[in-house]
Amino acid sequence: MADQLFAAQSRIKIAMVAGEASGDLLGSHLIRALKARFPDAEFVGIGGPKMQGVGLKSVFPMETLAVNGYVEVLKNLRAILRIRRDLTDQLLADRPHVFIGIDAPDFNLGLERTLKAKGVTTIHYVSPSIWAWRGERIKKIKACVSHMLALFPMEPPLYQQAGIPVTYVGHPLADEMPLVPDLAAMREQLDIPLACRVIALLPGSRQSEVAALAETYINTAKLLSEQVPNVLFLVPLVSRETRALFEATLYRLQAQALPLRIMFGHAHDALIAADVALVASGTATLETALLKRPMVITYKVSPLTYRLMWHRKYLPYIGLPNVLAGDFVVPEILQDDATPANLAQALTNMLDHNRVVDGLQAKFMDIHLTLRQGTAERAAEAIAAYLPHAH
């Protein structure tokens, strides 16, 4: 009886919070890796279907946290704050051995600060981009976080300098993606002739991004269809809403006759099949680099937002491939410069210069190998050091 009581008391409890789909995927991989070390561990917190599918007991719906944009956050602010308060109370009443906040810094750092002040070990998985802008956040992070798990190699020195324990774990996308994607096999799968010149158009995953970029992308495709023989455009869109926005712009611009195939998701398939890609800045640029495809990066936001962010940024580039390479290895054509003529010219340059493309793919391979670290296992190893009976 005493042995059973001790076993119940010593069961490892791990609390986790993911705020959106990308965090849910990261969290599911991490839970699997932790279960391999601690098969009887209990996982509680907030997560989506992937984390719940591998054993997380989600005490609040993740969808409440998965909002983007100032207006949407303000609309949901009362509910979000109530969830954070109630979750904090639950975790302090039934304390976990460790709390892991997966990305979602606006929600998780405040929760971590309270828990850490009460003696709970707090680990943050995915560093905020302090290397890009708002580096002063590192002081707040130090008060919130017992240990940082960093996805990119330029991040650990920043935390070490600030006296924050940190582990570089690499990027999970680098573990998932093939080192040498098979263009010919993907063309066959998608029923696209090898003789086609295929250009992938990725205007973003959010409605606001597609609304800002769709017209520019379509007008760029119009120019390219006149200049590039046998061209085909692949447009992967992640939701019905973004697809509806893009199709409405096609009709408004009377561009339905373009050689263009809209895909529901399957961005990786589109990129593998492509000769070159036009990509909205964000994680998609990293995905494109890991799939070894030459790209042109573009983005448009409101003029006020652009001015505010431009003056506060620390690096001359915004695209992750350029940040990781430490140089402008791919073009970034932003804001007012992002005209259809400029974008079409930059894409045509890449289509016609095999030597440039070969050099680019070699740099992308270096990035891939640097980021391919077995992320979930590395993260689990770092977390295990804070758990009882760690080996």
Sign (positive/negative) of CA torsion 215, 200, 172, 158? negative
Which three-class secondary structure state does DSSP give residue 77? helix
- Check residue 1 and give its pLDDT: 37
pLDDT, residue 54, reads 96
Q: Top-level CATH class of 183-371?
A: alpha beta
Q: How far apart are CA 83 and CA 86, in angstroms?
A: 5
Q: What is the pLDDT of residues 283-305, one digit of tens each?
A: 899 999 999 999 999 988 766 66
Judged against a pLDDT cut of 70, whether residue 104 lies above it is answered with: yes
Fold of 2-170+373-384: Rossmann fold (3.40.50)
**Global pTM value:** 0.86
Contact call for residues 298 and 334 (beta carbons, < 8 A): yes
Q: Which residue from 259, 123, 103 is spatially nearest to 192, judged by alpha carbons?
A: 259
pLDDT digits (tens, 9 = 90+) for 13-58: 999 999 887 888 899 999 999 999 999 999 999 998 999 999 999 9
Do 2-170+373-384 and 183-371 show the same overall fold?
yes
From CA 143, how far away is CA 165, in angstroms rounded? Answer: 12
Enumerate the domain spans of the chain: 2-170+373-384, 183-371
316 pLDDT tier (thresholds 50, 70, 90): confident
Task: Phi first, then psi: give them for residue 365, nearest 5 degrees.
Answer: -65, -40
Can you give the pLDDT at residue 70?
A: 43
Taking the C-alpha atoms of residue 322 and residue 328, their distance in angstroms, rounded to an integer, is 5
